[in-house]
Structure 1
Amino acid sequence: MKDEAAAGEPAPDRPVRRTALWGAGVWILGVTALLVALPLTARDRLPEQVATHWSGSRPDGSMPLTAAALFPAVVWLLVAAGLATALRFRPGPARGAAAPVLAATGVLLSGAQASVVRANLDRARWQDAAPMGIEVLLIALAAGLAGVLAWLATRPAADGPARPGAPVLELRAGERLVWLSRASNHWMQVVAALMGLLTAAGLLLAAAGRTESVDWASVVLFGLGALALLLCSSVRVRVGDDGLHVGFGPFGLPARHLAPEDIASARVGRLNARQAGGWGFRVFRGGTSVFLRSGECLVVRTRRGTDFVISVDDAERGAALLNALVERAGAPTG
């Protein structure tokens, strides 16, 4: 069977780069604030000299409290500056490593800072700091997991080369085409990142032994809100022989699939937030929508008479391919 190149082009790089910059900026500033604030907010319960290094399970090195607050933040900012320099002068190799390195390093330093505060909490001298044990392994595992998740969330889509074509596609017997696109709302992602940082701050305070400062109801609400916003802030769309596949969030999960037999027709619509009922994932009387930006949308009419609206780039070509696949499956378009 003959395989053709992709019938559609991925979303332009510019919005993706803008989103990545916003997300990286929020993450860098948030982690910096957490690293400095964790020890300083517990100043009244920490010795003037705090243990910062352990040999086995015994502390064997210390720093003044202010230095212990600033040192990891400086290391963190140097890592961020190094990545920014690499992206400026060697963007190709650095682009794939930037998000995993930032995620893993931020989690590693934040976890270590929380452990240092917890070990020194309510101790008269740094020599009396609590021993380090299983938390070291847990921090390392969390940092590795954060790096892997960041890599999965930011890896490029497996797009084929772009194929120029007319808005109305005619499929030859045995011909296989695929159209891929994506869209994102960087403001929703920034808000999700801020809510996620507030959640992380609460968890780090608890890890540092400051449970009396943690409002668990707020932590849970901010965490759930961050997750919901993150899942609704981006979308990946693929049209192929199996029909329409829409993945939500940075990992493409959860997802919705419509086979050609489930689709009556597809078209292009131009909508704004008021017409779509708001931003993100919306349910309205005539169906559902994933609305991330005003303008061109892919509107899919299902055989049940409901509409599925997705704000995504190059929607005209996606609609044309969907209608061709519906025709080939024996379901009339219109």
Structure 2
Amino acid sequence: MKHRVVDPAGVVFGLVVPLLCAVFGFVLTKIWEPRLPEQIATHWTTTSPDGFSTPSANAWTIALLTLLFGGGLSAIAALAPAMLMMRRFMLVVGLSVVGLITTVNFALLYTQLDVADPSTTSLPLWSIGVGFAVGGVLGWIGASFLRDYRVRTLATIEPSAGLPRSSCPLPISDDVGFSTKGSVILTAITLAPGVIMALAMRSLWPLFIFGALGLLVVSLVRFRVIVDEPEIRVINMGMAAMTYGIDEVVGADVAEIKPFADFGGWGLKTKGRRNYGVVTRTGPAVVITFAGGDRLTITTPKAEDIAGSLNRLADARTR
């Protein structure tokens, strides 16, 4: 089976969408140019504009910012060989930036239509928060269309006799990572600067940005692991971030893991080539080896049950 190089959904959302947004800025400027001042305000202090340029120069600047920053981040989504969860995360972040730039540019132009003196205008701050939030939602939608094009290799040997076996009923599922209470606390910590900014500026737009950032941060430390007869799934952001078939399992063991010492931190981590870890706590972890060379470590109190069940299922496939 050939390795796929490009994810079609990643091309659409990670490359085409930013390009269309960049083109939109040009088209909008061209349509509105007769109604815009010769020099438009492009940057504001807290009270008044302090930067000006021609509409066409602003259109080029916005297009470059959209493609370099937003498109540069979201373009990773098109690379099929890259880790699925990383591609999804970068797409959400990239399109959040694209949404922010596009919406702010729209508001910037709209507020200066038929204005004689652009120095009297002000930028609607709502456009910052709304643009970031709309872009983030579009990124999440795009992320749901991304697929894992990893080539699967079937295991041809049974797990070692020294590995644990278990008759634990299936499916086995476990929520790994921060608890609901911990996630609320982490979100609150992330949101706190936004609350302070919102009160100081008397505007709600910082809450949109920091609220979205809080959700992204929490998504990196909350997972659900499901083991059943056909496959092992790691769920993140409501979507399967990693999926392995039971027919790929070479063996599963149990180990004691310290996230920072063993993987350099919490969340979905990598330690060397094809050595992945869903490490969110110190303690027991199931360590699964696959025929394709991947190795997956998941910290969970159910490590013994999961490892034993995987080895039992792997035994059964060869009979």
Please give the range of the TM-score, normalised by the shorter of the 2 chains: 0.3 to 0.5
**Length-normalised TM-score, structure 2:** 0.41
**Length-normalised TM-score, structure 1:** 0.39
